[in-house]
Every structure is written in C-alpha cells, then in structure tokens.
C-alpha cells in the first residue's frame, strides 16, 4: 500500500500568505475533534504522458475538519511548494487540486450524472490554476441527473508554501453529518470547469495523483469511526 489512511485528532492549521489571486488567511475558527486525515507516499504522481508529476501536484497528506461555526476546511499538503505558475507540465496548462464529496453514496449515482471517469462526486471542492491565476470553486453536480447543469460557488483558497486550505460554509454542503471524501490533483485541457463537466470527454482531465489509494473509488468517511 503506498498510502495509509488514518484518523487523527488535529488542531487548526493557520495558513497565511497567497499565491496568484489568493488572499491572506483569515483567523481560523476553533476546530472540532472529528477531523479525518489521509497520508499518501510522495513520488507516486504521474502525468498523462506517464512521467513523474511535479511536487506541487503530488499529494502527501489531506485533512478535513469542521470548525466551531460549522464551516468545513479541506487541507492539502503537497510534496513541494506551489511555484509562481503552478500549472501541469506544459506552458499554460491548467491544473486543479480537488476534493470529491459523496453525500449520498447509497443512492444510485446515475441520478447525479457520472463523469466518464466514473467519479461519484456530487460536490467537488476545487482550487484551479487557469494558466494565469488561482481561484476556488465549489462545484455542485447534484441536479445533473435531472438535466440541470452543474453550478459553481466561488471561494478564495488560502495557499502557503506546499499547503492549500479550501474552506466552504456548512450550508453549501447541506450541513452534512456524514459523507465520503477523497482528494486528487488534475492535469486539465480547459480552465472552464463547468464547461468540462457539461461535455467532458475521457481526455478532458487526468488525475496526476489521488489519495487514498484508489482515489474516488476508495474514499474515506467523515467523520471517521
């Protein structure tokens, strides 16, 4: 096994600073003791061309935690710091750092519209490098099965060195008491995530790295056992 899922009690991470269009971190709220973490072996990221992926697309740890105000913070730790232009290999290539959230794993996933890669993500919390700047968005795919296009709610990711924090309000996730989650980094062929979700071919995105092992097919539960 190249990664080991573990449940830990963690304190709040104070992230400051910014890359691209990100803003300095706000003072964090107190964090509950139901945080769940994933460890992943460095060096296992692979590009679409089969080469070893750059460190800033290589996930080595991830944590989800709920703050006292009910918001959720998703922290990704990478093998190396994000460079000034943190795209995938290739000039201007868009890249993504994402969390897949499955709120209703026992409901037929076709109701939410499957991606060609088979991802069961009703929600995707994503930091996106579009070739020019970093931005964050919560992509909601829950109504895709009913013919309603995916929607996106923007947020400002916080970046410091090799760490990315993505915080979203609890109400944006329907105040869940439980969900399945996994993380991945992406090599993208377009910076328009909604366009990609509306008409996404098999080559539209390549997962450079995923955690835990098995990626979206082997998610962890939050909160843990």
Q: What's 198's DSSP letter?
A: H
CB 197 within 8 A of CB 141: yes
Q: What pLDDT does 196 receive?
A: 54
Return the SS3 of 214.
Answer: coil
Higher-pLDDT residue of 63, 5? 63
Range from 28-37, 123-132, 151-160, 207-216 that averages highest in pLDDT: 151-160
Q: Does residue 212 have a cis bond before it (omega within 30 degrees)?
A: yes
**Phi and psi based region of residue 167 (left: phi greater than 0; alpha: psi -120 to 50; beta: remaining):** beta
What the block records as the tokens of 223 is 């909160």
Q: What size, in residues, is the chain?
A: 225
The answer, yes or no, to whether residue 149 has pLDDT greater than 60, is yes
Task: Report angle CA 53, 57, 61 to the nearest 5 degrees.
Answer: 120
| pLDDT confidence bin for 201, thresholds 50/70/90 | very low
Q: Choose the weakest-confidence range: 35-44, 92-101, 106-115.
A: 106-115
What the block records as the tokens of 211 is 């955690």
Q: In what order do the strands lie in the sheet with 3-6?
A: 3-6, 36-40, 59-66, 72-78, 163-168, 158-160
Which of 136, 73, 140, 72 is closest to 104 using CA atoms? 140
Q: What pLDDT does 194 receive?
A: 52
User: Average pLDDT in the 77-89 region?
Assistant: 87
What the block records as the tokens of 39 is 């460890």
Q: What pLDDT does 216 receive?
A: 80
| pLDDT confidence bin for 180, thresholds 50/70/90 | very high
The answer, yes or no, to whether residue 4 has pLDDT greater than 60, is no
The answer, yes or no, to whether residue 19 has pLDDT greater than 50, is no
| pLDDT confidence bin for 118, thresholds 50/70/90 | low
Which of 22, 193, 222, 194 is closest to 96 using CA atoms? 193
What the block records as the tokens of 159 is 């970046």
Rg over alpha carbons for the chain, rounded to the nearest Å, is 16
Alpha carbons within 13 angstroms on the beta-carbon side of residue 101 total: 27
Q: What's 31's DSSP letter?
A: B
Q: What pLDDT does 75 receive?
A: 96
Task: Report angle CA 155, 117, 183 to the nearest 5 degrees.
Answer: 40
pLDDT tens-digit profile of 155-172?
999 999 999 999 999 999
Rounded-to-integer distance, Cα 82 and Cα 206, Å: 19
The answer, yes or no, to whether residue 116 has pLDDT greater than 80, is no
Rounded-to-integer distance, Cα 41 and Cα 76, Å: 14
pLDDT tens-digit profile of 27-61?
334 445 578 999 999 999 998 888 899 999 999 99
């Amino acid at each position: 096994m190249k990664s080991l899922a573990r449940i830990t009690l963690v304190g709040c991470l104070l992230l400051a600073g910014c890359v691209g269009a990100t803003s300095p971190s706000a003072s964090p709220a107190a964090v509950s003791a139901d945080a769940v973490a994933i460890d992943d072996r460095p060096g296992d990221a692979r590009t679409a061309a089969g080469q070893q992926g750059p460190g800033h697309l290589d996930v080595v740890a991830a944590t989800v935690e709920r703050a006292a105000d009910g918001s959720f913070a998703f922290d990704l730790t990478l093998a190396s710091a994000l460079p000034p232009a943190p795209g995938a290999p290739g000039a201007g290539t868009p890249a993504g750092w994402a969390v897949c959230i499955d709120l209703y794993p026992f409901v037929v996933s076709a109701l939410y519209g499957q991606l060609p890669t088979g991802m069961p993500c009703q929600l995707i919390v994503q930091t996106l490098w579009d070739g020019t700047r970093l931005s964050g968005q919560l992509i909601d795919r829950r109504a895709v099965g009913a013919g309603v296009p995916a929607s996106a709610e923007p947020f400002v990711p916080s970046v410091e060195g090799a760490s990315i924090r993505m915080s979203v309000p609890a109400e944006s996730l329907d105040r869940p008491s439980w969900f399945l989650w996994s993380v991945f980094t992406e090599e993208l062929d377009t910076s328009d995530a909604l366009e990609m979700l509306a008409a996404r071919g098999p080559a539209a995105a390549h997962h450079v790295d995923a955690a835990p092992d098995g990626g979206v097919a082997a998610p962890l539960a939050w909160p843990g056992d």
